[in-house]
Amino acid sequence: MELGSKPIVTYSVQEVLKVGVAAAQQSSGTHSSPLTSAPSPLTRLPGTSDTAATIRDRPQRYRRRIVGPEEMEYIQCGGPE
């Protein structure tokens, strides 16, 4: 390993989800699932969601992403007018 280079750390999907849920519960002060209790301003894309294999095999830019209502409206209207 060269001087100054950093080791690459990888995490499993399950580890990332556990940490995200725990952090969301701590910040909101509730013990219920943050995915069901908090209304989200973001919408999921229709169709099948990313699988563990997709997350593992594809870089982020080739995977689905959450689209906000403003961005969805912008896309549906055809861009700037």
Query: Both 17 and 50 in a single domain?
Result: no
DSSP state, residue 39: P
Percent of the chain with pLDDT over 90: 1
Tens of pLDDT, residue by residue over 8-42, are 767 777 777 777 666 666 655 555 444 444 555 55
Query: Both 31 and 60 in a single domain?
Result: no
Query: Both 52 and 80 in a single domain?
Result: yes
Q: For residue 64, count other CB atoms closer than 10 A to its CB.
A: 13
Q: How confident is the model at residue 67 (pLDDT cuts 50, 70, 90)?
A: confident
What pLDDT score does 49 carry?
72
In a domain, 4, yes or no: no
- The total domain count for the chain is 2
DSSP state, residue 15: H
In a domain, 77, yes or no: yes
Provide the residue range defining the domain that includes 18.
Answer: 10-39
Written as six digits, the tokens of 63 are 């995977």
Residue of 72, 70, 20, 21 lying closest to 45 (CA atoms): 72
